[in-house]
Structure 1
Amino acid sequence: MTDPNFYLTMASAALAGLGMMTFAVLTGWRGWLALKHQELQQQSGGDLHQERSLPNASARIEIADLKERIRKLEAIAAGVDL
């Protein structure tokens, strides 16, 4: 058991096994990512890399203002004093 070739053989076998396991896990991870990418494309119904523009701050403020006006008009229509 003190033979250095034994330890060298065991270390190389362990390293080869670790490499094969790492390759298998990486292949599975890439497959899972491809599946999720495909699901997202199906849900969005189009190109996944398409730019989706979010409303800027002034548009959000305007929408909030309009919601507040609607709330006030509904309160007036219901006969509630503000």
Structure 2
Amino acid sequence: MTNLSLIALTGTLVLTGLLVAGMFASRAWFGWLEVRKLELASGRPQADEPVAAAGASGTDRIELADLKARIRKLEAIASGIDL
């Protein structure tokens, strides 16, 4: 093989690989969008929605407030502030 044909073959293989990867990424993206559409159409609260927006009970709110207080204490400890 000559240098020119080796370069042409390498370029063709690289472009083919990029095309296949792009097609795979595109198919995955559209599949993910379809899943999200189905999740939104179901009418159920999503996992990434805040607890209060999902109709949380009073117990859930108390637990959330307790967790936030613990996080504040841990952040204070990490920054060197003594409570």
Is TM > 0.5 for Structure 1 vs Structure 2? Answer: yes
1:38 match: secondary structure: helix
The runs of 5 or more residues in structure 2 that have no matched partner are 66-83
Q: Please give the secondary structure, in 1, of the residue aligned with 2:50.
A: coil
Q: Output the amino acid matched with 1:6.
A: S
Alignment match, 1:74: none
Structure 1 position 51, deviation (Å): 1.9
Structure 2 CA distance for aligned equivalents of residues 25 and 42 of structure 1: 26
Q: Taking structure 2 as the reference length, what is the TM-score of the superposition? A: 0.56
Task: Give 3-state SS (helix, strand or coil) of 1:27's partner.
Answer: helix
Larger Rg: 1
Report the aligned-residue RMSD. 2.5
Note closer, same or farther for the CA distance 1:52–1:16 as it changes in structure 2 (3 Å cut).
Answer: same
- What is the number of equivalent residue pairs in this alignment? 56
TM-score, normalisation: structure 1: 0.57
Instruction: Map residues 1-82 of structure 1 onto 2, 5 A cutoff.
Output: 1=1, 3-43=2-42, 45=43, 48=46, 50-53=49-52, 55=60, 56=63
Identity level (%): 4
**Which structure 1 residue ranges, 4+ long, deviate > 3 Å from structure 2?**
46-50
* Contiguous gaps of at least 5 residues in structure 1: 59-82
